[in-house]
């Protein structure tokens, strides 16, 4: 039977947050014990070692994070814009957990590389309906590491659904026929730690593909959870706030922190999970804020997508990064995807059992969308040279928008959505998913006429598949131009050779 312990990867490594002098290095070991995290310069010159003790019976599934060199006694700071490799092994040398590489960030804005790129992916679910790895689903993922390396990609944004707890349906953690292998009842009846362990194993199953592991270990990874790291549309129904659903959500969020969130957030066996998992970071002239639009969802009245506290952190982030040339804002569900009337009609026909209530355009989510627009409008009005790009995933379509506040001399910003990297849809579904974004060509205004959304044209002579319903990844190119930085948005699809193919390329923004 697929999706058993024999399908799970025992040892994993990944790169997390990297700044100009340090890096967060994450790993999962097959057994507890003492491990050495060794870092070398690109010339194979030893830099230093950190020692990590993983205690038996720890609740984090033998995962650990090292902030290097802070946790490596005697090791000097890393050098900015330098390449390093790392290796994680048991202290007796008998077990190698894994190896990886990273490049540090610039120390100042002035040191930002003149041209660089950032990768964007979401929705990693490469299995067929029976839980068997589908080769066609991995075709783009196989090409991405070489493509990103050729494009001088500095880091990767994985913006939701890097693991599916509830798909494929035959091996869903919510399917009693699948979970019966543990000799227990339905997962709703399990203890929180038992549920956490099941989600931990699911990560190790879903990530057991060499192309995906190369992305985790060869680039700084900045993750955000979405619904499938728990189950579809969690937080969008009132019953999710209590009882068995709330227990599953709580345990799955802990597993997310064990396997993804700890790359950016303080975490360990004795830590308490924060209410929201948002974070921010800086790479030279580029500043990024990642919203957690799942953990604080509440079906009211009044309803909410994010708390006032999270919105205040975003406002403070913008105020602190007014000097940034470019701002990325991650919202795992795209800020703009379906016109409001489509969402409303969908809810009327299908109720809350389909994804329509999950979108920002759903009536109960519009107040939070309006509050977020207030903050963006005020900030861009005060910083007219700054480029702001909203980045999302989730919706199984690749798409680029221009978003323009209506009115004289009002600012504009952009959105790039990339979904999915491996979750291959059937031909009919892939044909239908672009319909929502295309509807804005006929109904461009939203938010009570405050915002106009238009598909961003391709550059002259460039690939122009916008939107695209096939497997896709995003690539954002940044080019310094004096005291500004221009941005070019790209969508990549499956290529014929070793590299992905450009499906869409915007002009310089």
DSSP-assigned states of every residue in 177-236: HHHGGGTSS-GGGS-HHHHHHHHHHHHHHHT--HHHHHHHHHSBEEE---STTTSTTTTS
**Model confidence pLDDT, tens digit, residues 454-481:** 999 999 999 999 999 999 999 999 999 9
CA–CA separation, 378 and 239 (whole Å): 36
pLDDT at 428 over 70: no
Report residue 350's pLDDT band, with 50, 70 and 90 as the boundaries: confident
357 has pLDDT over 90: no
Annotated domain spans of the chain: 5-19+105-505, 20-104
CATH H superfamily, domain 20-104: Immunoglobulins (2.60.40.10)
Same fold for the pair 5-19+105-505 and 20-104: no
DSSP code, position 264: T
Q: Look up residue 370 and give its two tokens.
A: 């309006």
Judged against a pLDDT cut of 90, whether residue 409 lies above it is answered with: no
Average pLDDT across the chain, whole number: 95
- Within 238-307, residue ranges assigned H as helices are 243-259
What pLDDT, on the 0 to 100 scale, is given for residue 485? 97
* N- to C-terminal Cα separation, the chain: 50
Output the six-digit token pair for 251. 């345990």
| pLDDT score for 239 | 84
Q: Looking at residue 237, what is its pLDDT?
A: 84
Q: Of 32-36, 155-159, 267-271, 490-494, where does mean pLDDT reach its minimum?
A: 267-271
Condensed to tens digits (0 to 9), the pLDDT of residues 159-211 reads 999 999 999 999 999 999 999 989 999 999 999 999 999 999 999 999 999 99
The secondary element (H helix, E strand) that includes residue 86 is: strand 83-90
Sorting pLDDT into bands at 50, 70 and 90, what band is 502? Answer: very high
Instruction: Specify the pLDDT at position 353.
Output: 63
Nearest to 500 by CA among 418, 392, 389: 418
Mean pLDDT computed over 281-299:
97
Whole-number percent of the chain with pLDDT over 90: 87
pLDDT of residue 301: 86
pLDDT of 242 reads 85
Q: Quote the pTM value.
A: 0.96
Tokens of 468: 């695209």
* Most confidently modeled range among 45-54, 340-349, 428-437: 45-54
| 428 vs 40, residue with greater confidence | 40
What CATH number should be reported for the domain whose range is 5-19+105-505? Answer: 3.60.21.70
With contact defined as beta carbons under 8 Å apart, do 16 and 63 qualify?
no
Whether the pLDDT of residue 1 is over 70: the answer is no
Render pLDDT for 213-246 as a digit per residue (tens, 0 to 9): 999 999 999 999 999 999 999 988 888 888 999 9
């Amino acid at each position: 039977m697929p999706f058993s312990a024999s399908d799970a990867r025992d040892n994993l490594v990944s790169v997390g947050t990297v700044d100009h002098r340090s890096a967060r290095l994450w790993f999962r070991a097959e057994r507890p014990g003492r491990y050495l995290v060794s870092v070398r310069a690109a010339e194979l010159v030893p830099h230093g070692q950190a020692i990590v003790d993983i205690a038996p019976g720890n609740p984090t599934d033998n995962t650990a994070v090292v902030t290097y060199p802070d946790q490596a006694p005697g090791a000097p700071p890393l050098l900015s814009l330098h390449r390093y490799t790392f290796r994680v092994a048991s202290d007796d040398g008998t077990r190698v957990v894994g190896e990886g590489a990273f490049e540090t960030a610039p120390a100042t804005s002035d040191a930002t590389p003149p041209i660089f790129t950032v990768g964007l992916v979401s929705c990693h679910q490469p299995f067929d309906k029976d839980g068997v790895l589908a080769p066609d689903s991995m075709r783009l993922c196989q090409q991405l590491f070489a493509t990103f390396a050729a494009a001088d990609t500095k880091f990767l944004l994985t913006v939701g659904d890097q693991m599916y707890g509830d798909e494929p349906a035959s091996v869903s953690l919510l399917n009693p026929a699948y979970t019966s292998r543990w000799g227990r009842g339905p997962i709703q009846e399990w203890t929180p730690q038992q549920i956490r362990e099941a989600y931990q194993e699911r990560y190790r199953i879903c990530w057991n593909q060499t192309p995906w592991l190369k992305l985790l270990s060869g680039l700084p990874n900045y993750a955000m959870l979405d619904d499938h790291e728990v189950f579809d549309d969690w937080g969008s129904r009132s019953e999710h706030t209590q009882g068995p659903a709330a227990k599953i959500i709580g345990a799955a969020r802990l597993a997310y922190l064990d396997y993804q969130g700890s790359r950016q957030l303080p975490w360990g066996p004795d830590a308490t999970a924060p209410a929201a998992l948002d974070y921010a970071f800086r790479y030279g002239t580029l500043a990024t804020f990642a919203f957690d639009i799942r953990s604080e969802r509440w079906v009211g009245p009044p309803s909410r997508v994010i708390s006032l506290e999270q919105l205040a952190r975003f406002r403070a982030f913008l105020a602190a990064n007014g000097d940034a040339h470019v701002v990325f804002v991650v919202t795992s569900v795209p800020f703009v995807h379906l016109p409001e009337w489509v969402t409303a009609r969908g809810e009327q026909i299908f109720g809350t059992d389909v994804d329509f209530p999950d979108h920002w355009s759903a009536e109960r989510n519009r107040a939070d969308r309006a509050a977020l627009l207030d903050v963006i409008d005020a900030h861009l009005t005060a910083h007219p040279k700054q480029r702001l790009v909203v980045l999302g995933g989730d919706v199984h379509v690749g798409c680029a928008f221009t978003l323009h506040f209506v009115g004289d001399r009002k600012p504009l910003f952009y959105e790039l959505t990339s979904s999915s990297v491996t979750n291959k849809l059937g031909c009919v579904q892939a044909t239908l998913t672009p319909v929502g974004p295309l509807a804005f060509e006929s109904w461009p205004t939203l938010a009570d006429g405050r915002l106009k959304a238009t598909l961003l044209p391709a550059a002259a002579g460039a690939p122009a598949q916008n939107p695209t319903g096939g497997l896709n990844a995003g690539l954002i190119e940044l080019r310094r131009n004096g005291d500004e930085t221009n941005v070019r948005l790209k969508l990549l699809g499956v290529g014929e050779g070793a590299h992905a193919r450009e499906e869409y390329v915007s002009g310089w923004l």
